[in-house]
Structure 1
Amino acid sequence: MGTDGWAERLRLSRRLSARTPSTEAHHLAFCDRTGAAIVTVMQRGFDMTMQPDPYGLRPRLAVDLLAAAFRRALERWVADPSETGHEGLADALRDACAAVPESLVLPARTH
C-alpha cells in the first residue's frame, strides 16, 4: 500500500460503515465525543469573553459544521475510484468547506 496505505484503509472503512449500521452508529458516536472534546479545547484556547456563549453553542456549531463538511468530502472521495491518495481527500475537503457559507443561506422557493 505504500505511503497512501492509510487512504485505502480509510476508503475500505467508510465502505464498511455504509453497509453496516452498527459500525456507522459507532463512527457517529465517536465523532460526537471528539467534537465535544474539541469544543472544550477551543473554550480554553480562545477568548470567549468578547461574545459570551454560556451553552457553548457557537463553538459546537463551528465544530459540527467542519465535521459535516469533512463527512461530505469523505463521501465524495470514497465514491470516486480515481482519487487514490490524500490529495484528493484534501481537495474534496477544501471544496466542502468553501460551500458551507452559501449552504447556510439557501433561498426558499417561491410559489
Structure 2
Amino acid sequence: MLTKLLEKITKKKLVADDVIELLAKIAGWMLLTYSIAKIADTVYWATVTAPAQGFNISQFYSNNPFYGIWILYLEIACTLIPGLLLITNGGRKNKFLLITSVIMGALAACINRWVMVLQVMAV
C-alpha cells in the first residue's frame, strides 16, 4: 500500500505489478494459514480452556455493547476473506479487491491486539 502511495506521489512506477502480485499471493497464504490456526485455537479455547477454568465464552464478550461476540467474528472475517481473495488470480489482479484485502488484513491485526487487551480485562 505504501508503494502504491509513493508511486502516486512520485508519478513513477517503482515496483512491477508481477512483484506486487507475488507479494500479495504470499500474504494471502499467510493470512489464510493464520486464519485457520486462529479458528482452531478459538474453538479449543472456547470448548476446553475457558470451561476448564470455570468460564464460558459469553463471559468474555459481555457487559459492553461495543465489545460483543461480533468482534471475534469480525477478526476472523478480516483474515479469512482477504486470505481467500489474495490466493486467487482475480483477487490479486483486481486493484479494488487488492486494496480492500490489504485494509482488511491491517484491520484484523488491530482488532487482534485490541481483543487481546480486552479479554484479559474482561474476567
* TM-score (structure 2 length as normaliser): 0.32
Higher relative contact order (CA 8 A, sep 6+): 2
